[in-house]
Amino acid sequence: MNIEKDRVVAIHYKLTDDQGAVIDSSEGHGPLTYLHGAQGIIPGLEKALEGHAPGDSLEVTVQPEEAYGEVNPEMIQQVPRAAMAGIDNLAPGMALQADDGSGNVHHVVVKEVGEEMVTIDANHPLAGQVLHFDITVDSVREATPEEIAHGHVH
């Protein structure tokens, strides 16, 4: 059975950056399972997997615009350090959840800590990066009506 819309797909993968450093892998975790066509994985990878079958192996390079987008400078902001009161050992690289005051929670990374201001970045950590995947298709099956209705695998 080939990969197409509304099929449940399980893949083993290794994700590396342009320098070959491993960013993520399914090794030791079992395959990644998703509903094809439901935007559960990045668009460039989903397009590359279309039509493949269990046992197929492929190498896929995904450009930022087909992954997590380019870095958006508007998502890098300076906020008063006082807004971070109560956070112990505030340091660059720290991942935080920030409430925008409208009830929306954003994942941000601290980029710089100054005496009065903190620079935070709400871009996806892989924004702006070319992603390289080594993929092996493990299995493909028809999705259940419930999975299709809910837009994800059960």
86 and 105 belong to one structural domain: yes
Calpha distance 138→57 (Å, rounded): 9
Q: Are residues 26 and 41 in the same domain?
A: yes
* Banded model confidence at residue 28, pLDDT cuts 50, 70, 90: very high
For residue 50, tell me if it sits in a domain.
yes
Kindly state whether residue 102 falls inside one of the protein's structural domains: yes
Sequence-distant (≥ 6) Cβ neighbours of residue 71 within 8 angstroms: 123, 127, 128
Q: Which CATH number fits the domain that encloses residue 13?
A: 3.10.50.40
Mean pLDDT score of the chain: 95
- CA dihedral sign of residues 135, 140, 142, 145: negative
Q: Is the predicted pLDDT of residue 36 greater than 80, yes or no? A: yes
Residue range 101-148, pLDDT digits in tens: 788 888 999 999 999 999 999 999 999 999 999 999 999 999 999 999
Which residue segment(s) compose the domain that 57 sits in?
Answer: 7-68+126-150
Residues 58 and 18 in one domain: yes
Q: Band the pLDDT of 66: cuts 50, 70, 90.
A: very high
Is residue 2 in some structural domain?
A: no
What is the Cα–Cα distance from 128 to 138, expressed in whole angstroms?
29
In a domain, 19, yes or no: yes
pLDDT tens per residue across span 44-59 = 999 999 999 999 999 9
- Tell me, yes or no, whether 36 and 56 share the same domain: yes
Closest CA to 77 of 131, 23, 117: 117
Fill in the DSSP letter of residue 137. Answer: E
Kindly state whether residues 64 and 16 are assigned to the same domain. yes
Tally of domains within the chain:
2
Q: What is the pLDDT of residue 23?
A: 96
- CATH code of 110's domain: 2.40.10.330
